[in-house]
């Protein structure tokens, strides 16, 4: 009996949405005008779909009045808040391309994204916690020639933008919307790639609207659902699987806090009777360990999404038993695929949900191929996971050569992940071809961090690797060669050098000073050997060593 090949196609029973994000929102508003659309718990504010549409349209008209046009890049740099969502939908309505900037970025990374994508308007928080966004914007602005406008939330320019829009002629917005097409680019998300600095994955209305819609379909969403979204909006998890999954079904999106807070998340689920909760495994672990967990009424929960890294079976059992999320779903994907390619179903066993990343989603194809020959391998055989369909990005912004490295001539996106497909089409991720580090759901590529650490005056050479970590899955470790006469660097010294210039999650937790790196006879760094050596070094070692 022959073994089936490792390829599978998703169902096509429910048709793709062939409309823009703005048109889809308008349709939902007509169907469910008085249902809750958006609840910002921390700010004590809420919008029905009718009210959300009014504010989105006002902001869209304000942007048009400012001179923002279809194809212009509008950056957003802020933690989660209701205004973030208004900007997301207002830019979509006029065809401006929203560039999502990680709120943990510092000036070094902000400048790179502003210049790389040619942002004309940056909408930003003033400050949050230890991040002085306004100060960093002013610091880099002289070096960003494309940046014409900056608007701070809670500032007079934001209020003026909305007020200008409320006084404008709605016909202007209707004309702008009529000129848009579902295949137009609408979002740039910066993600670490195969080499160098982050690349801007460019996504269309069709990409992200359909991905949000079908993720919601597999979660069984209707207008009765209320989805708690503590994951960041700047990433597809928040703005696609969260916002677009909700608005394409008439469901309510609940923002528990600007940044993840276990107690605030649990309180929001209780107060808003949420039926669904999102997070990476570390978030669910923190919620289950929150003081007074058993006092929260979570009886409204039935489903949710866990993604970003594998879920331990003990955690999955607790999420189902103690949180009532009997239909919780595991999703797998990448920014370049809008993001979800595979997903577990509501009736899948706990074993399926902890050992696999589910089956292919609707209107998508997946295959597991030999990385060298490109041939599809038999089921049960490891190879590179590839995906094809509506979700594959338009390309990396301004980098066609980099796009061609990951999307082949037949339209297959090569994920760089090693996977195995079983007889029923379920996929298990077994490793990564790319040297990516995944820390608590954040994808980190060492070369960007290495290039930054090379700017330290005492560093001769540096290699960054991922090492196992019980809490985050992986942590960063820097192997450093010092310049002659320089004092060996400590983890604290590296942290001090990076703070304010690199996002906190990119700062290596461990530093190991060496004279030489393990190398092949041809002169290539052997990171596999480094990771094995690091695991031995860290057994029982003090913090940061």
CATH number at residue 462: 3.30.300.30
Residue with tokens 């929260």: 296
The answer to whether residue 9 is domain-embedded is no
What residues have CB less than 8 Å from 390, skipping those under 6 apart?
Answer: 16, 206, 207, 210, 211, 363, 364
Q: Contact at 8 Å (CB) between 342 and 357?
A: yes
pLDDT at residue 521, rounded to an integer? 46
The answer to whether residue 427 is domain-embedded is no
Nearest of 226, 185, 225 to residue 208 by alpha carbon: 185
The answer to whether residue 134 is domain-embedded is yes
Tens digits of per-residue pLDDT, 211-270? 999 999 999 999 999 999 999 999 999 999 999 999 999 999 999 999 999 999 999 999
499 and 466: one domain?
yes
pLDDT at residue 413, rounded to an integer? 98
How far are the Cα atoms of 37, 310, 396, 403, 433 from residue 279, in angstroms, in the given order?
A: 20, 12, 27, 29, 25
Q: Which residues of the chain have pLDDT under 50?
A: 193-195, 521-522
Question: Exposure of 96 by Cβ count < 10 A (0-12 exposed, 13-18 middle, 19+ buried)?
Answer: buried
Q: What's this model's pTM, rounded to 2 decimal places?
A: 0.85
462 and 497: one domain?
yes
445 and 339: one domain?
no
What residues have CB less than 8 Å from 524, skipping those under 6 apart?
Answer: none
119 and 225: one domain?
yes
276 and 241: one domain?
yes
Last residue of a domain, one of 383, 418, 453: 418
107 and 170: one domain?
yes
414 and 477: one domain?
no
pLDDT at residue 525, rounded to an integer? 74
In angstroms, the CA 28 to CA 268 distance is 24
The answer to whether residue 15 is domain-embedded is no
The answer to whether residue 38 is domain-embedded is yes
pLDDT at residue 445, rounded to an integer? 66
**Domain span holding position 510:** 439-538
Q: How many CA atoms lie within 13 A of 277 on its CB side?
A: 30
256 and 139: one domain?
yes
178 and 300: one domain?
yes
The answer to whether residue 545 is domain-embedded is no
pLDDT at residue 401, rounded to an integer? 96
450 and 403: one domain?
no
What residues have CB less than 8 Å from 28, skipping those under 6 apart?
Answer: 49, 247, 248, 249, 250
412 and 466: one domain?
no
CATH assignment of the domain containing 253:
3.40.50.12780
Pairing of strands 329-333, 199-204: unpaired
Last residue of a domain, one of 370, 388, 418: 418
The gap from C-alpha 227 to its chain's centroid, in whole angstroms, comes to: 17
Tens digits of per-residue pLDDT, 83-115? 999 999 999 999 999 999 999 899 999 999 999
pLDDT at residue 195, rounded to an integer? 42
**DSSP classification of residue 336:** G
Domain count, the chain: 2
* Element containing residue 7 per DSSP (H, E): strand 7-9
The answer to whether residue 424 is domain-embedded is no
Is residue 194 helix, strand or coil?
coil
The answer to whether residue 523 is domain-embedded is yes
Last residue of a domain, one of 418, 453, 472: 418
414 and 460: one domain?
no
pLDDT at residue 194, rounded to an integer? 36
């Amino acid at each position: 009996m022959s073994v089936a090949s490792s390829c599978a196609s998703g169902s096509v029973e429910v048709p793709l949405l062939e409309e823009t994000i703005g048109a889809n929102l308008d349709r939902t508003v007509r169907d469910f005008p008085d249902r809750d659309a958006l609840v910002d718990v921390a700010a004590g504010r809420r919008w029905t779909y009718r009210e959300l549409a009014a504010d989105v349209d006002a902001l869209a008209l304000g942007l048009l009045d400012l001179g923002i046009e279809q194809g212009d890049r509008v950056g957003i740099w802020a933690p989660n808040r209701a205004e973030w969502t208004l900007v997301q939908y207002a830019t979509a309505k006029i065809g401006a391309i929203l560039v999502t900037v990680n709120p943990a970025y510092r000036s070094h990374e902000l400048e790179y994204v502003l210049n790389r994508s040619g942002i004309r308007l940056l909408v930003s928080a003033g400050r949050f916690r230890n991040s002085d966004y306004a100060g960093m914007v002013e610091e880099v602005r002289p070096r960003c020639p494309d940046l014409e406008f900056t608007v701070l939330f809670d500032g007079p320019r934001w209020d003026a933008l909305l007020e200008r829009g409320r006084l404008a002629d709605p016909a202007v917005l209707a004309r702008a919307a009529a000129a848009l097409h579902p295949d137009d680019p609408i979002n740039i998300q910066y993600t670490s790639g195969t080499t160098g600095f982050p690349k801007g994955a460019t996504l269309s209305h069709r990409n992200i609207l359909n991905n949000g819609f079908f993720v919601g379909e597999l979660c069984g969403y209707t207008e009765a659902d209320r989805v708690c979204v503590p994951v960041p909006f700047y990433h597809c998890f928040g703005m696609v699987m969260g916002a677009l999954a909700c608005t394409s079904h008439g469901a309510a999106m609940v923002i528990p806090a600007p940044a993840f807070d276990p107690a605030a998340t649990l309180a929001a689920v209780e107060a808003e009777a949420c039926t669904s909760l999102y997070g990476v495994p570390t978030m669910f672990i923190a919620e289950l360990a929150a003081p007074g967990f058993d006092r929260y009424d979570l009886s409204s929960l039935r489903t949710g999404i866990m993604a970003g890294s594998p879920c331990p079976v003990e955690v999955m059992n607790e999420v189902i038993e103690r949180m009532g999320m009997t239909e919780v779903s595991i999703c797998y994907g990448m920014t370049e695929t809008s993001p979800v390619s595979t997903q577990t179903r509501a009736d899948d066993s706990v074993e399926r949900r902890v050992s696999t990343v589910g089956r292919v989603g609707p209107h998508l194809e997946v295959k597991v191929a030999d990385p060298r020959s490109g041939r599809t391998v038999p089921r049960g055989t490891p190879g590179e996971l590839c995906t094809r369909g509506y979700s594959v990005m338009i390309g990396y912004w301004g980098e066609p050569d980099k796009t061609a490295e990951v999307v082949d001539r037949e339209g297959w996106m090569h994920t760089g992940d090693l996977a195995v497909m079983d007889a029923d089409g379920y996929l298990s991720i077994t490793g990564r071809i790319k040297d990516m580090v995944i820390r608590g759901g954040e994808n980190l590529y060492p070369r960007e961090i290495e290039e930054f650490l090379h700017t330290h005056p005492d560093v001769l050479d540096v290699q960054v690797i991922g090492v196992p970590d019980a809490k985050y899955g992986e942590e960063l470790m820097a192997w450093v060669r010092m310049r002659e006469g320089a004092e060996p660097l400590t983890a604290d010294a590296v942290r001090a050098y990076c703070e304010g210039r690199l996002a906190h999650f990119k700062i290596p937790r461990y530093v190991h000073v060496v004279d030489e790196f393990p190398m092949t006879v041809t002169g290539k760094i052997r990171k596999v050997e480094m990771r094995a050596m690091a695991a031995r070094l860290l057994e029982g070692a003090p913090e940061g060593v």
